[in-house]
Structure 1
C-alpha cells in the first residue's frame, strides 16, 4: 500500500514540476520529458505510466458532456405568438470537444415551424477563454439548405459571452451571425440577462429575404430566477427588427419588419 502511495506521490510531483516549469506545455507533451518521467528511475516504467494515467484522469482529463437550453420560450407579439428555442450540447475534454447547436421558431397558433437549424461542430480551445469551431449547419426549415461553418465562441473581457459564426451555403452565399450575452447577478438566484443577436449577409439572397449588410437584430433582456441552478424560469422583453431591403421584402410578403415581443420561458441545463 505504501509503495503504491509513493508511486502516486512521485507521479504527482512530476506533474506539478511540469506545470510550474518554464516551457511546461512542450515538456508535458513529450513522454521522454525528464520532469514528467523522473520516477522511472526508481520504479517500473510500466507501473509509473499507469500511475500517471490515473493521475491525469483524476486531475481533469476526463471526458464530460453538457446540455444547455438557454432559451425555451413563448414570444407574444402583436400579430402572432411564437415558440422559440436556442440550445447547445457538448462532449469532450478540456481542449477538444464536439458541439451540437440548434435554434428555431414555430407558430404557437398553427404549430408550423418557420425556422429550424442544427449545427455539428468540432471545437478546440485556443486560449483559456476562447474556442475555435468548424463544422456544418443544416437548415431543416425553410428550405433544407446546408452550410459550412467557422466560429469563435468564448468570454470577452468583463465576462461578455460571445458566439460569432460565419456560414458558407452550398449555393455560395456567405452570411454571419453574432451573439452577445451578459449576466447581472442581482442576487445569488435572481439574474438579469441582456442579449443581442445580429445577422449579416455578404450579398443579396432574395429567396431568403436577405439584403447585403446587416439584415436583422434581436435585442432583449430577460429576468430569471434560479429555483435550482439547472432550472430557471424567466420573463422579459425583446425588440426584433429587420433593415433595408430585407425589411421591405418581409413587409411585401405580409410580415412585420419591426416589433417588440414579451417573452416567458425557462432556461435549463444538465
Structure 2
C-alpha cells in the first residue's frame, strides 16, 4: 500500500504544475486569471464608400467608368457625350406619294342595258325635275271676307301667288279693303323676289304699290318670311317710299288644330312708322294694329270657310290724327269668309 501512495504523491506535482487546457475561456474567466483568451482575428476592412461626382472633382476618389452607351445619336455626339459608331448604309428613299386625283367612278345605269341610253335620258331628266329640280306654283287667297260692325259692312282680302323652285321664286302679294255701297278704301300690291336663306325662312325684296282715293306711293321692300319655332307663321318687312318715308310691318299667325279639319287661327299685325305721314293719316311710332281670331273648317285642304272676330285700330299719333278729322280710331267686326288655294 505504501509504494502505491508514494507513486500517487510523486505524480501529483506534475499534474498541478500543468493544468489541463480549458475547453472555453470567457471574458469573465480571463479577467479572474482562470484562463487566457485566444487572440481575435481582425475584422475585414469595410468596403470603400461610393464615389460621388463632387468627391471625384476634389480628387478624393475615382468615378467608375460608365457603361458603354447603347447608341450615340447625332445630338449627343455633337455635345461630346459619346462617339458615334461606324455609319451604316441608309435604306433607299421611299418613292414619292402621288397626289393626282382618283379617276372618276364609272357611271353604270342598269336600265340603259335594257331600254337603251337614248330612251332613258328624257325619263331620267324628268325624274330629276320632279325630285327637287322642278317648278312650283301656288295661288292662295288666305282671307276673302265680309266684316260687319260699327254700323258698317265692309269687305277685305289678303292673298298671294308663288312661282318658282325650292330656292328662288317670284312672289306676288295683294291686300285691301273697302265698303259695300261706298268708296274703295285702300289696296296694295307687292312684286317680290324670294330666296331661301335657310330651311324655314326666305329673304324677300322688291316693290310695293299702293292704290286708293288718297296718295298712292311706291315703296322699296326688304323683308323675311317663314316658319318660326313652335310653328308660328311670321312675316316682317321694311318699306321705303319714293318720298323717303320709312315704315315697318310685322305679322304673325298660328294654326291651332282642334280636329283634323277644324282649326282655330289667332293672328296679329303691327305697323310702325319712323315719321309722320299726315296725308295718309300715319303718325310716328306704333301707328296701327290688328288682332283677329278665326275658326275655319277645311271641307278640303284647298277650301275652308270660316267665322271670326277682328279688332283694328290706330294707336298713338295716328289715333290723334284720326280724331282730328272726326274718324273713329278703332273698330271691331264679326267676319265671315272663305280661304282657298290651288
Q: TM-score, normalised by structure 2?
A: 0.64
Instruction: Summarize the alignment of residues 118-129 of structure 1 with structure 2, pairs less than 5 Å apart.
Output: 118-129=189-200
Comparing both structures, which one devotes a greater share of its residues to strand? 1
Specify the alignment match of 1:16 in structure 2: none
User: What residue is the counterpart of 1:242 in the other structure?
Assistant: 314
Q: Unpaired segments of 5 or more residues in structure 1?
A: 1-32
Instruction: Provide, for residues 23-52 of structure 1, a one-character-per-residue CA deviation record: whole Å limited to 9, x for no partner.
Output: xxxxxxxxxx999x7444889xx9798676
Equivalent residue pairs, number: 234
Is the 8 Å Cα contact of residues 209 and 250 (structure 1) preserved in structure 2? yes
Q: Is the contact between residue 144 and residue 156 of structure 2 (CA under 8 Å) also seen in structure 1?
A: yes
Shift of 1:118: 0.3
SS in 2 for 1:91: strand
Could you say which structure has the larger radius of gyration?
Answer: 2
The corresponding residue for 1:130 is 201
Instruction: Return closer, same or farther for 1:51/1:118 CA change in 2, 3 Å cut-off.
Output: same
Q: Which deviates more, 231-240 or 92-101?
A: 231-240
Deviation at 1:229, TM superposition (A): 1.1
Partners in 2 of 1:180 and 1:269 — Cα distance? 19
Cα distance, 1:250 vs structure 2? 1.2
Distance 1:34 1:266, change over 3 A: farther
Corresponding residue number in structure 2 for 1:93: 165
Report whether the alignment pairs 1:262 with 2:334: yes
Cα distance in 2 between the residues matched to 1:34 and 1:250: 74
Farther off after superposition, 137-146 or 187-196: 137-146
Contact 2:215 2:279 in 1 (8 A): no
For residue 59 of structure 1, give the secondary structure of its aligned residue in structure 2: helix
1:170 matched to 2:215: no
Aligned match of 1:187: 259
> In structure 1, how many angstroms separate the alpha carbons of the residues matched to 2:296 and 2:141?
14
Query: Cα RMSD (Å) of the superposition?
Result: 2.3
- 2:223 is aligned to 151
Segments of 5+ residues of structure 2 without an aligned counterpart are: 1-100
Aligned with 2:197: secondary structure? strand
SS where residue 249 of structure 1 aligns? helix
Where 1:58 maps in the other structure, the secondary structure is: helix
Q: Which moved more, 1:93-102 or 1:237-246?
A: 237-246
* SS class of match (2:318): helix
5 Å matches for 1:81-120?
A: 81-110=153-182, 112-120=183-191
- With structure 1 as the length reference, what TM-score do the two structures score? 0.81
Contact 1:77 1:259 survives alignment (8 Å): yes
SS in structure 2 of the partner of residue 60 of structure 1? helix
Could you tell me whether the CA contact under 8 Å between 1:81 and 1:109 is conserved in 2?
A: no
Distance 1:268 1:34 in 2: 54
Q: Does 1:229 align with 2:336?
A: no
